[in-house]
Chain A
Amino acid sequence: MKVHIEFLLGLTLLATSCSRKGASTPALKPTGVGAAIVESSGGKQFVQTGALLPQPVVVQVNDEKGTGVAGALVEFSAAQGVTFDPATALTDSSGQVTTNVSLGGMAGQYQITASTLDSSHKKVELQLVEIALGYQQTLGRRLNDQYCDRCHNSESTAERVSNYDNLEVKPHPFSEGEALNRMTDADLTAIITNGGPALQKSALMPAWGNTIGKSDIQALIAYIRAVSDPASRDAGPLFPPTPH
């Protein structure tokens, strides 16, 4: 009984931004059946808690040969508080379904399941993870843009040329979980505050301790933990889809 009430409270908290559309969608009649469901785009995005992902999630239903199947019914599900627009849809002529996703109100990793039924009415599923950033991580993300990204991100855009290739010793991209998950928060704090030489690393990493405040450095670390791939131990809770 008590467990039930706890669950209800969680539901109340998370459901404040619950879907308006899912309930009233008329039943869709599938005209095609696939054998597999794959991601086209939109996995592993970062956004503030409760907010709409910047890019829609696009998945594709394929037949045995890997060709897109039109008219297959795809259903999206996730933890309470995550909304899909639409939550169920039929694939278009290229076999794809596009949905706009808003994440729940708690910071953490949200598992998103896209499923369809194959010809033997068995469920085939695709799991994606989207990341909701809390206040600290959102702040860290902004500080990363200002101070870190130009060197730690090798991707260049016309508006923002990366400095990564120009550096004799290559910095770790913050998604590089393999390397960064091994470093403790104390290590990260030390290298950001006192520069590379603090951990016997390159002096090309300057000391930021007089420029970025202590709490801002904590925010940066929270952001680095949130976006690391594979996920860091400190990435925040994983929210699996709520069973129907």
Chain B
Amino acid sequence: MKEKLTSLRQKLFADSVRAFGVVSVIFLVSMAIAPAKNFFSEWRHYQHGYLKTIHNRSDANTLQRHFTSGIQQVWLPELGVVDRCTTCHVGLKEASLTDIPTQPYRKHPTIPHHLDQFGCTTCHRGQGAATTVSEAHSSTLAWEQPILPAKYIESSCGQCHRGQLPGTPQLNQGRALLAREGCLHCHTVKLSDGTTLKATDDPPSLSHIADKTSREWIFAWLKDPQAYASTATMPNFKLSDGDARDISAFLIANSTPVPGDTVTLSGKASADPAAGASLYGESFCASCHAVQNAAGNIVGGDVGPELTRVGTKAKPEWLQAWLRNPRVYDPATGMPHYRFSDAQIPTLAGFLQGKADSDFLANVHLDAATPEQIAHGKRLVSDYGCASCHEIAGIKEPENFAPELSRIGSKPVTQLIFLPGMQHTLPDYIAGKIKNPRAFSPGLKMPQYTFTSQQIDALSTALLSLNERSYSLPPSLQVPGRVETDYQPAGKAGKLMTDLACFSCHRINGHGGDMAPDLTWEGSSVQREWLVQFFKNPGTLRPALIRRMPRFNFTDSEANELTDYIMTVYQSPKIDRDSMPLSGYSQGEIELGKQLFYGKYSCQGCHIVDTKTDKGYIGPTLTHVGSRLTASWIYQWMKNPQSLRSGTVEPNRSMSDEDARALTAFLMSQKGGEKSSGGAKAAKTSSQTQEVAKR
């Protein structure tokens, strides 16, 4: 072997000329490596492939003209974008290439942004500067961030857009879950604009819990909250029997009674389930509270807790006191003070007490708590961070109890510990952690949630939007979301509105719920007399809605107080209430308005003016609209409904002033009482009328 090498060397380098020749050849070959690598590079294959693909198309000439060979680049220094993706993804901007089924040559789907303004990696991640498929798309030694899987793509919208977007349902849902399911009580999330995300749920205080429920219930609840109510927000901490026993012992021992809270009322809980059920229905409890029906479906709202087994949880005397005035036990509750009469309270309490499940506590037998158990329970309450969510007397709310998630969406994979069999990507890690947190280490405190796969995807999407890029993008690109104000009405009426929890359903001046109409300009909208009557006996405005304004037992002075405040304070600057009269329109105007209503604008598709002929079920019924709304409000509404209530479904018909005035005249003539006399569509079969009645 050695001899062979020696002889080869002697042959090649026998004399200086030959040696020079050999070295030159080696030199030339090595010089050719770089151009050869370039010539055989992957992207050239894709560009050749593209040219072949477009070759036989009818628009080949145009496409050919748009095509530039060589490495392409989108360079946006402000965004930190150097994206060469368009080198291979040649057809992204070609409108005609929607008939090519897949990338790299298909046109980019239509989105509200332009490629040249944002590049590719701003949304898709990956390594923009790379010029090979694997380096651009996957994690490499030099680049960690692989392409974002399609199912999480909406997270990229969330880097700039702080609020809800109509085109990103998954991101919206994930953000709502993040705020509603308790995540933000333990995890801090700061945004690049300096704000901190706020939880929207309101876990109850446990400082007086012995008034409300038994230790046995607490034990069973701690062991499995979803066994009590499948919709419970409280996650499962997988507590041992001993730990649940000790925590329940501590919470009961730590509880102090609320004065006046458990006063037994004169009436005993009534055993009349029918009366209770109808009071439950009339009070529209189901607008906020759900109950599981016999078929296993959850029916009702999710503003308050599910009541399927409330009789197993609530102590009878507490429940009565709560129904009488919930604000005694919890001054900040979202439950209205209904002003039930002394006769109504036991009826409703009895009905709710009947919603019990004897199985839930059947196997719970707790001996009297020992001081050691109570002390151990207190330690556990601190260890598990219970006070992050719940107010507990004597326990301080822990700060930064769980890791901050402000930049979780770009956490380096090298800092993550994966489970065996998991793909080593950040989205998989986040989803895995939400799905089964304790699998990552039995000592972890994060509890077990009962999210569906779809909810986990949504939450992961929301978390992936919290990343470094959202901090590094120019602030001018940030699109703020809807700002929740801390508006509070003043004075006596303000106190009344807090007592009635108006803001649980209604929004005013940027504060409150979305279930019922925004009342910011209610004073410009309605007539005083109507409002007083509505408070005393709320009728149905929208027949198709199942959530309605409950009836509170107002005193006359309360109804007047509230009406006066609304009429004075909630006025729109766009509306001059007195600019148009409530009545006295000419018959000609009214008749013209009627023709427009049934003809040109066909309002009867959505509204009912004459119950004999009209069947529209989408907008409010207008049979009494002339005694309900002000003329100036109707006029402005005709001109531009969205200017009065953004997002309302009523289309803006860009009506002329004359049309709007005539329609206002016609609608103001609808004062209830005797029906308007037929009209163009008067002739209807009786079966159709019955159909309306049935609905």
**Which positions in A face B, CB cutoff 8 Å?**
2-3, 5-6, 8-10, 12-14, 16-17, 20, 24, 48-52, 54, 81, 100, 102, 104-108, 134-136, 138-139, 142-143, 146-147, 150-151, 158-161, 163, 165-168, 202-204, 206-208, 210-211, 215, 218-219, 222, 237-239
- Residues of chain A with a CB closer than 8 A to B601's CB: 203, 206
Instruction: Tell whether A135 pairs with B167 under 8 Å between CB atoms, given A17-B149, A151-B605.
Output: yes
Please name all residues of chain B whose beta carbon is closer than 8 Å to the beta carbon of A208 when the two chains form the complex: 651
Contact B616 A166 (CB under 8 A): yes
Q: What are the residues of chain A within 8 A of B150 when measuring CB–CB?
A: 16-17, 49-50, 81, 104-106
Q: How far is the CA of A142 from the CA of B695 in the complex (A)?
A: 27
Min CB–CB distance A210 → chain B (angstroms): 4
A49 near B153: Cβ-Cβ < 8 Å: yes
B602 pairs with A6, CB closer than 8 A: no
A54 touches B454 (CB 8 A): yes
Stretch at the interface among B99-107, B183-191, B390-398, B475-483: B99-107
CB neighbours (8 Å) of A210 from chain B are 651-654
Asked whether A2 lies within 8 Å of B605 as measured between CB atoms, the reply is no
Closest residue of chain A to B423 (Cβ to Cβ) is A20
Nearest first, the 7 A-B pairs at minimum CB distance are A105-B150, A50-B150, A50-B151, A139-B167, A237-B101, A166-B615, A210-B652
Q: Are B137 and A136 in contact (CB under 8 A)?
A: no
The answer to whether B49 and A5 touch across the interface, beta carbons within 8 angstroms, is yes
A165 B691 Cβ-Cβ under 8 A = yes
CB of B693 closer than 8 Å to a CB of A: no
**Which one of B40-48, B332-340, B554-562 is at the interface?**
B40-48
Which listed residue, A5, A52, A161, A204, touches B602 by the CB 8 Å rule? A204
Closest B residue, CB atoms, query A161: B544
Nearest B residue to A167 via CB reads B605
Residue of A6, A100, A104, A107 ringed by the most chain B CB atoms within 10 A: A6
The answer to whether B110 has its CB under 8 Å from any CB of chain A is yes
Count of chain A to chain B residue pairs whose CB atoms are closer than 8 Å in the complex: 160
**Which one of A5, A24, A203, A211 lies within 8 Å of B599 (CB-CB)?**
A203
User: How many Å lie between the Cα of A12 and that of B421 in the bound state?
Assistant: 20
Q: Return A163 CB to nearest CB of chain B, in Å.
A: 5
A215 to B52, CA, bound (A): 34
* A240 CB to nearest chain B CB (Å): 10
- Chain A residues in 8 Å Cβ range of B167: 135-136, 138-139, 142, 219
CA–CA, A100 and B57, complex, Å: 39
A102 and B151 contact, CB distance less than 8 A: yes
Contact A237 B102 (CB under 8 A): yes
Can you list 10 contacts pairing A with B, beta carbon distance less than 8 Å? Answer: A2-B45, A5-B49, A20-B423, A51-B454, A138-B169, A151-B605, A151-B618, A160-B544, A204-B602, A206-B602
Contacts of A218 on B, CB cut-off 8 Å? 110
The interface residues of chain B lying within 8 Å CB-to-CB of A12 are 133-134, 137-138
Asked whether B147 is an interface residue with its Cβ less than 8 Å from the other chain, the reply is: yes
Task: Identify the interface centre among A51, A100, A207, A238: most chain B CB within 10 Å of its CB.
Answer: A51
- Check A17 against B616 for contact (C-beta < 8 Å): no
Q: Does B109 contact A (CB under 8 A)?
A: yes
Write the chain B residue with the least CB distance to A3: B49
Chain B residues within an 8 Å CB radius of A211: 642, 651-652
Chain B residues whose CB sits within 8 angstroms of the CB of A150 once the complex forms? 618
Q: In this complex, what residue of A is CB-closest to B111?
A: A135
Size class of the B contact interface (CB-based, 8 Å): 35 or more
Which residues of B (110-125) have their CB < 8 Å from a CB of A? 110-112
Q: Is B416 an interface residue (CB 8 A)?
A: no
Assuming the A-B contacts A8-B133, A13-B103, A142-B169, are A134 and B546 also in contact, with contact meaning beta carbons closer than 8 angstroms in the complex? no
Interface string of B638-653 (1 = CB under 8 A from A): 0000100000010111
- Complex: how many Å from CA A150 to CA B602? 16
Report the minimal beta-carbon distance from B605 to chain A, rounded to whole angstroms. Answer: 4
Say yes or no for B606: interface residue by CB 8 A criterion.
yes
Most chain B beta-carbon neighbours within 10 Å: one of A24, A49, A134? A134
**A3 to B100 CA separation, bound complex (whole angstroms):** 14
Closest to A83 in B: B151
Q: Which residue of B lies closest to A222 (CB)?
A: B110
Q: Which residue on B lies nearest to A236, using beta carbons?
A: B98
Q: Is the CB of B651 within 8 A of A51?
A: no
What B residues does A239 contact at CB under 8 A? 101-102
Given known contacts A138-B167, A210-B652, A218-B110, A161 and B146 CB-to-CB distance under 8 angstroms: no
- Known contacts: A6-B46, A16-B150. The answer to whether A206 contacts B605 by CB under 8 A is yes
A5 touches B46 (CB 8 A): yes
Q: Are B457 and A51 in contact (CB under 8 A)?
A: yes
Most chain B beta-carbon contacts within 10 A, residue among A16, A52, A104, A150 = A16
Q: Is B453 an interface residue (CB 8 A)?
A: yes
Does A24 lie within 8 Å of B421, measured CB to CB? yes
Among B52, B99, B149, B150, the most chain A Cβ lie within 10 Å of the Cβ of B150
Evaluate contact between B110 and A204: CB separation under 8 angstroms. no
Chain A: CB-nearest residue to B134: A12
Nearest-neighbour CB distance to chain B for A136, whole angstroms, equals 5
The complex places the Cα of A16 from the Cα of B148 at a distance, in Å, of 8
A-contact 0/1 string along B620-643, CB 8 Å cutoff = 000000000000000000000010
Q: Which residues of B from 152 to 167 have beta carbons under 8 Å from A?
A: 152-154, 166-167
Q: Is the CB of B618 within 8 A of A52?
A: no
State whether the Cβ of B37 lies closer than 8 Å to any Cβ in chain A: no
Chain A contacts for B691, CB-based, 8 A? 165
Q: Which of A6, A106, A160, A204 contacts B605 (CB 8 A)?
A: A204
Q: Of all chain A residues, which has the CB nearest B297? A: A158
Shortest beta-carbon distance from B530 to chain A in Å: 25
Instruction: Kindly list chain A residues whose C-beta atoms are within 8 Å of the C-beta of B602.
Output: 202-204, 206
CA gap between A10 and B89 in the complex, in Å: 11
Is there an interface contact between A14 and B654, defined as CB atoms closer than 8 Å?
Answer: no
Chain B residues with CB under 8 Å of A49's CB are 150-151, 153
Given known A-B contacts A10-B103, A203-B602, A136 and B109 have beta carbons under 8 A apart: yes
Contact between A206 and B149 (Cβ–Cβ < 8 Å)? no
| A208→B648 CA distance, assembly (Å) | 12
**Contact between B137 and A13, CB atoms less than 8 A apart:** yes
A48 in complex: contacting residue of B111, B170, B546, CB < 8 Å: B170
- Are B110 and A136 in contact, CB atoms less than 8 angstroms apart? yes
Q: Does any Cβ of A come within 8 Å of B617's Cβ?
A: yes
Q: Which residues of A contact B599 (CB under 8 A)?
A: 203
Find B149's partner among A105, A134, A163 (CB 8 Å cutoff). A105
B291 CB–A CB distance under 8 Å: no
B655 (CB) vs chain A CBs: closest residue: A210
**What is the minimal beta-carbon distance from A169 to any residue of chain B, in angstroms?**
9
Is A6's CB under 8 angstroms from B104's CB? yes
Bound state CA distance, A79 and B638, in angstroms?
Answer: 51
Q: Are B101 and A106 in contact (CB under 8 A)?
A: yes
Question: Is B109 in contact with A107, judged by CB distance below 8 angstroms?
Answer: yes
Residue of A nearest to B640 (CB): A210
A54: nearest residue on chain B (CB-CB)? B454
Given A12-B133, A134-B109, A163-B618 in contact, is the A52-B457 Cβ separation under 8 Å?
yes
- Give min CB distance, A156 to chain B, whole Å: 9
Contact of A106 among B102, B149, B152, B423 (CB under 8 A): B102
The answer to whether B651 touches A142, judged by C-beta atoms less than 8 angstroms apart, is no
Q: Which residue of A lies closest to B166 (CB)?
A: A142
Task: Tell me the minimal C-beta distance from B159 to chain A in angstroms.
Answer: 15
CB distance from A17 to the nearest CB of B (A): 4
B365 lies within 8 A of chain A by Cβ: no
Q: Is the CB of A206 within 8 A of B653?
A: yes
* Chain B residues, CB < 8 A from A102: 151
Decide yes or no whether B88 CB sits under 8 A from chain A.
yes
Task: Report which of B100, B147, B615 forms a contact with A16, defined as CB distance below 8 A.
Answer: B147
Determine the residue in chain B with the shortest Cβ distance to A237: B101
Query: Is B600 close to A, CB under 8 A?
Result: yes
Q: How far is the CB of A135 from chain B (nearest CB, A)?
A: 5
Q: How long is the Cα–Cα vector from A222 to B109 in the complex, in angstroms?
A: 11
Residue contact B651 to A143, C-beta cutoff 8 Å:
no
Q: Which residues of B contact A6 (CB under 8 A)?
A: 46, 49, 104
Docked CA distance A146–B606 (Å): 14
User: Is the CB–CB distance between B169 and A13 below 8 Å?
Assistant: no
Quick one: which of A48, A136, A165, A207 contacts B169, CB cutoff 8 A?
Answer: A48
Whether the Cβ atoms of A147 and B649 lie closer than 8 Å is: yes
